[in-house]
């Protein structure tokens, strides 16, 4: 049976928005096979699916169906599926798999995927997986786990293809043909000196395109980066993105080769960092997932709602100072939310740009003042535009040119401050060692609300009373 997932011609392709989504008919057919306890049909339906698609399927169905599907699928379960699963679902799936099925699935994984799997599990589950590994694989996994969390040592794979620096292309080809334990995917042969220190990378393309007598050291890559095993994974991902690396050797404290990082692992880190920044900016916790339970989701979001409550109270205290003014001019109460909303949105725009630039190291001490000036000028120009709009609204709606002028000035002030705060606050937090994505939102919201209300109501108190 052919599923919608492996039909890629234009006649059968779905809309662009659903191009790589699981087909509902396929899901229904799979669940029907599970209901009928039809293992043969289930295997036939699952066979064309990529491991990532199977992981998506397991994440989308309920826990009861997930358990039945896994038990029926049984020995066909592939280790790559575990690597693709969301962390919360992964633990559940591991607990369902039979020990021998889990052992076979894990043995098929590269060492970096095994470590990635292990580091997210509780100790009992870690021990269960380590026990089923072969001795060499278990030692490699335990050594990788000894490196700091979120370090290159945790990311790297132990399977590398290396060659002495004096070898020729012919030597390398003969070695690779005779080897029985080459990595499933690799892009470079790493040249090492007699002390096992990497000195260069040679791409497989250059090896295949060169004569057998060509010295490997004569066809090394121009760009060569060595990654310390203790380097933070964010810096590793940045190096891959910045220097367009495909793979890079990893070295220990003595600069000896201990592993290799490939571009897929580096890009996975970038994706995770981007996802974490978005979740932190929204105040929903960096590990939030659609598969989290209600109580877990509540626990993650509650602290940030509490922080927002504090900022709202501060803004309310400012409003309380102008009770008489608001009582005398009810129109102020109608217009206050507009000032606060515009400032908050403008601040969020600047904040998002700044946090992203800090994460990619595009915003540095060399250009920070230029960026701040730009955001302030953007706030000023936007403020002038909306000041004119709101000034006209104030005149037409309330028949008061003075009120229109008050909200116009307040709009300019608040948007300028929003641009300033949205850039300066994340920069300051980053300098203080605090994750700007985690804490900037609350500070920026507080500043824009307090300044917006104070400018609008304060000016109204001076001009209208």
**Strand intervals (E) in 92-231:** 162-164, 188-192, 198-203, 227-228
pLDDT tens across the length of the chain (465 residues): 444 444 434 444 444 556 677 788 889 999 999 999 999 999 999 999 999 999 999 988 998 999 999 999 988 888 889 888 887 788 888 888 887 888 788 877 877 888 888 877 777 778 877 887 878 888 888 888 889 988 999 989 888 999 999 999 999 999 999 998 888 888 999 999 999 999 999 999 999 999 999 999 999 999 999 999 999 998 999 899 889 999 999 999 999 999 999 998 898 888 777 666 666 665 555 555 555 667 776 776 677 677 778 877 888 888 888 888 888 888 888 888 888 889 988 988 898 889 888 877 888 888 999 999 999 999 999 999 999 998 898 888 888 888 889 999 999 999 999 999 999 999 998 888 887 877 778 788 889 989 989 899 999 888 876
CATH superfamily assigned to domain 4-146: MgtE N-terminal domain-like (1.25.60.10)
User: What is the CATH class of 162-262?
Assistant: alpha beta
Give ranges for CATH 3.10.580.10 in the chain: 162-262
For domain 294-464, say whether CATH 1.10.357.20 is its number. yes
Selection from 353, 370, 144 nearest residue 265 by Cα: 144
Q: Burial, 170: exposed, middle or buried (Cβ in 10 Å; 0-12, 13-18, 19+)?
A: middle
Give ranges for CATH 1.25.60.10 in the chain: 4-146
CB 85 within 8 A of CB 130: no
The total of other beta-carbon atoms located within 10 Å of residue 12's CB is 10
- Backbone φ and ψ for 183, nearest 5 degrees, come out as -60, 150
Selection from 148, 146, 161, 163 nearest residue 259 by Cα: 161
Give ranges for CATH 1.10.357.20 in the chain: 294-464
């Amino acid at each position: 049976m052919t599923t919608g997932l492996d039909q890629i011609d234009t006649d059968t392709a779905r809309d662009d928005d659903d191009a790589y989504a699981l087909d509902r008919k396929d899901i229904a057919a799979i669940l029907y096979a599970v209901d009928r306890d039809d293992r043969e049909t289930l295997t036939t339906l699952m066979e064309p699916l990529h491991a990532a698609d199977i992981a998506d399927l397991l994440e989308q169905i309920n826990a009861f169906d997930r358990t039945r599907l896994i038990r029926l699928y049984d020995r066909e379960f592939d280790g790559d599926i575990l690597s693709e699963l969301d962390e919360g679902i992964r633990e559940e799936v591991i607990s369902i798999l039979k020990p021998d099925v889990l052992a076979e699935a894990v043995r098929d994984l590269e060492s970096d995927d095994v470590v990635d799997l292990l580091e997210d599990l509780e100790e009992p589950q870690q021990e269960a997986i380590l026990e089923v590994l072969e001795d060499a694989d278990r030692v490699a996994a335990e050594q990788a786990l000894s490196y700091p969390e979120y370090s290159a040592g945790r990311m790297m794979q132990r399977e590398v293809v290396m060659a002495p620096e004096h070898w020729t292309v012919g030597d390398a080809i003969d070695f690779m043909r005779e080897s029985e334990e080459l990595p499933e995917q690799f892009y470079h042969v790493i040249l090492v000196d007699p002390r096992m220190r990497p000195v260069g990378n040679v791409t497989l393309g250059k090896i295949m395109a060169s004569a057998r007598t060509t010295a490997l050291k004569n066809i090394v890559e121009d760009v060569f980066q060595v990654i310390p095993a203790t380097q933070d994974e964010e810096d590793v991902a940045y190096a891959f993105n910045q220097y367009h690396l495909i793979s890079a050797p990893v070295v220990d404290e003595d600069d000896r080769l201990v592993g290799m990082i490939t571009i897929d692992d580096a890009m996975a880190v970038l994706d995770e960092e981007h996802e974490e920044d978005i979740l932190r900016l929204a105040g929903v916790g960096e590990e939030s997932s659609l598969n989290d339970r209600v109580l877990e989701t509540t626990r993650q979001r509650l602290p940030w709602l509490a922080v927002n409550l504090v900022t709202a109270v501060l803004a309310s205290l400012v409003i309380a100072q102008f009770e008489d003014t608001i009582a005398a001019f009810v129109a102020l109460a109608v217009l206050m939310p507009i000032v606060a909303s515009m400032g908050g949105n403008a601040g969020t725009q600047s904040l998002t740009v700044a946090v992203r630039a800090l994460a990619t190291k595009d915003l540095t001490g060399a250009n920070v003042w230029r960026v701040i000036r730009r955001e302030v000028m953007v706030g000023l120009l936007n403020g002038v535009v909306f000041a004119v709009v709101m000034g006209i609204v104030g005149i037409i709606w309330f028949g008061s040119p003075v009120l229109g002028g008050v909200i116009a000035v307040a709009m300019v002030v608040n948007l300028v401050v929003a641009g300033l705060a949205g850039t300066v606050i994340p920069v300051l937090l980053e300098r203080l060692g605090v994750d700007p994505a985690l804490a900037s939102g609350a500070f920026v919201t507080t500043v824009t609300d307090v300044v917006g209300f104070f400018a609008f109501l304060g000016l109204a108190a001076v001009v209208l009373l």
